[in-house]
Amino acid sequence: MEKRALYPGSFDPFTLGHLDIISRASAIFHEVRIGVATNNKKTNILSLDERIDLAKKSTEHLKNIDVAPIDGLVIDYAKKNDYKVLLRGIRAANDFEQELEMSQINRALSLKRHDEDPIETIFLMTSPEYSFIRASRVWELLNLGGDITSLLPKAVSSYLEEKNIGYLQEAR
Ligand code: ADP
């Protein structure tokens, strides 16, 4: 049985939805690494160091979780670090379509590039109370002066509230 999983994403910022997925995964796997993407198609608002730091602070109570940057292709990182399982979360039908495609691409690429056992993706479905939470919504709400505390772990909401104005100016 596979004991380790890699949970890749942007985590811009780390939300209660991410925390729900990682907390549940920590009870399934022996170890889970949150892999924070350094370069992807998204333009991130928080820097890599901030995204890593906030993911670490939000999960410090979970002993079998760690956080690290992922540079380049997820499957190459997984291969190099001996992960055979990727973990992802699904909120709704549109997530399903994207995640299906991504998991198939990763599987095919991993077979082709590494010519051995493919990388498999395992999905956890969102808990209903977090199904509406997505990172981009945090920035929308902040922009409109909405309350973000119900979407975020305490460490993240405190940090964003403190830094709020600077980020919104940078994002414009
Ligand atoms: P991306 O890799 O698209 O940048 P994110 O960093 O936002 O994605 O999220 C990483 C993973 O966590 C994705 O699989 C995403 O679907 C999942 N996720 C994000 N928010 C939630 C939520 N509220 N419930 C379940 N899964 C979630």
- pLDDT of the residue at 152: 96
Q: Verify whether ligand 1 is closer than 6 Å to residue 91 (CB atom).
A: yes
**Burial letters for 40-64: b for 16+ Cβ neighbours within 10 Å, e otherwise?**
eeeebbbebebbbbbbbbbbeeeee
pLDDT (mean) for 7-22: 97
CA-proximal residue: ligand 1, atom 8 (nearest): 9
List the CATH code of the domain at 4-132. 3.40.50.620
Of 38, 75, 91, 124, the one to substitute when testing ligand 1's pocket (max ligand atoms within 8 A of C-beta) is 91
Indicate the average pLDDT of the chain: 91
pLDDT tens profile 30-70: 999 999 999 766 688 999 999 999 999 999 999 999 999 99
User: What's the whole-model pTM score?
Assistant: 0.92
Among 78, 2, 3, 4, which Cα is nearest to 37's?
Answer: 78
CA–CA distance, 90 with 107 (Å, rounded to integer):
18
Q: Cβ of 94: how many Cβ atoms within 10 Å?
A: 9
pLDDT tens profile 70-112: 999 999 999 999 999 999 999 999 999 999 999 999 999 998 8
